[in-house]
Amino acid sequence: MLRELVPHLPVLSVSWGDWKLTGNYTTVDLIAASTNALNGALLARRPDHYKAFTATGILLMAILGGIGGGVSRDVILNKVPSAFTNPAYITLCILFGVVGYYLAYGKGQLFREGLFQFATAFSLPWYAIMGAYAAISAGLPILAALALGVVGATAGRYLIDITSGVPPKQFVQGEWFVGTAVLTAAVWVGCDQAGLEAWAAVGIAFLAGFVFRLLALYRGWEEPLAKEPKGAVIHSDGRPLLGRKLAGKSQRELRDLGLLPDDANST
């Protein structure tokens, strides 16, 4: 019908896209998207983020978390985002989002904070590596590689935090969230410039970022706060606590931290 009305309308080509799982760090990028989608679904179910989202909303949050960093990175580099040319990205994000939806809570409806923080520590380095790789591949200098490492690793979290109406993780005190991305990107750049084989460089950079993030979580290493005005009072902001910082907390304290739903039974 439309072609009859506009006879000179060009013929459009429609396809399912080019499915790719390997090549040019595609595997690393897909791991980043998948693990960040899992993390996004868990985060959207976390009591301090959950705002009566629908099941569809949770999956959309998973997609935001999964491809947000990669799309931001590619747009900065003036490229069509890989997530929109390779259907594997969104497909895996949806699958991992479903997994995250069902894994968020355990018995007694206690949010699986340990699983969430492990997923965060695991997912963060992958996009940091991809950001640095994309920058170096585009001929950008080292500082740009570090910056794109941060953008790729944290943009998805930023979108979820903003959508959930909470302060973005990048700007509040935490266990070196941005610092982990910078460290990972810097280690990858160093390994790459040293001539290491691709997967060796990826493995070393990932381990550096992953181990550092886990240590920061369990040992309570945090970025220093900005100097407060005289007489200011710093209130509890419900940041995640693990290891020594979580040991011995009561049900009420867990609820105050946003780890226990308000309707859970007190013991």
Q: Is the pLDDT of residue 1 over 50?
A: yes
> Does residue 255 belong to any structural domain of this protein?
no
Of 77-81, 114-118, 148-152, 190-194, which gets the smallest average pLDDT? 114-118
Can you count the helices (H) and strands (E) in the chain? 10, 0
Largest CA distance in the chain: 74
The reported pLDDT for the residue numbered 12 is: 65
Residues 6+ apart with CB under 8 A from 84: 71
Tokens of 186: 């810097």
Residue 4 pLDDT grade (very low, low, confident, very high; cuts 50, 70, 90): low
Q: Is the pLDDT of residue 239 over 60?
A: no
Residue 179 pLDDT grade (very low, low, confident, very high; cuts 50, 70, 90): very high
Tokens of 213: 């993030």
Most confident of 178-187, 214-223, 236-245: 178-187
> Does residue 184 belong to any structural domain of this protein?
yes
The number of domains in the chain is 1
> Does residue 260 belong to any structural domain of this protein?
no
> Does residue 226 belong to any structural domain of this protein?
no
Residue 173 pLDDT grade (very low, low, confident, very high; cuts 50, 70, 90): confident
Phi-psi region of 182 (alpha: psi -120 to 50; beta: other; left: phi over 0): alpha
> Does residue 130 belong to any structural domain of this protein?
yes
> Does residue 233 belong to any structural domain of this protein?
no
The reported pLDDT for the residue numbered 106 is: 78
Q: Is the pLDDT of residue 267 over 50?
A: no
CA 238, distance to chain mean position in Å, is 19
> Does residue 108 belong to any structural domain of this protein?
yes
Q: What mean pLDDT, rounded, does the chain reach? A: 85
CB atoms within 10 A of CB 118: 18
The reported pLDDT for the residue numbered 167 is: 92
Structure-token match 């355990």, residue found: 106
Q: Which helix (H) or strand (E) holds 45?
A: helix 26-45
Please compute the mean of the pLDDT values over residues 90-102 and round it to a whole number: 95
> Does residue 237 belong to any structural domain of this protein?
no
| Residue 45 to residue 90: CA distance in whole angstroms | 20
Q: What is the DSSP letter of 47?
A: T
The reported pLDDT for the residue numbered 266 is: 47
Q: How much of the chain exceeds pLDDT 70, in percent?
A: 81
Q: What is the CA radius of gyration of the chain?
A: 20
CB atoms within 10 A of CB 141: 10
Residue 141: what residue type?
A: P
CA distance between the termini of the chain? 67
CA dihedral 139, 143, 144, 150 (to 10 degrees): 140
Could you list the residue range(s) of the whole structural domain that residue 207 is in?
A: 26-219
Q: Is the pLDDT of residue 247 over 70?
A: no
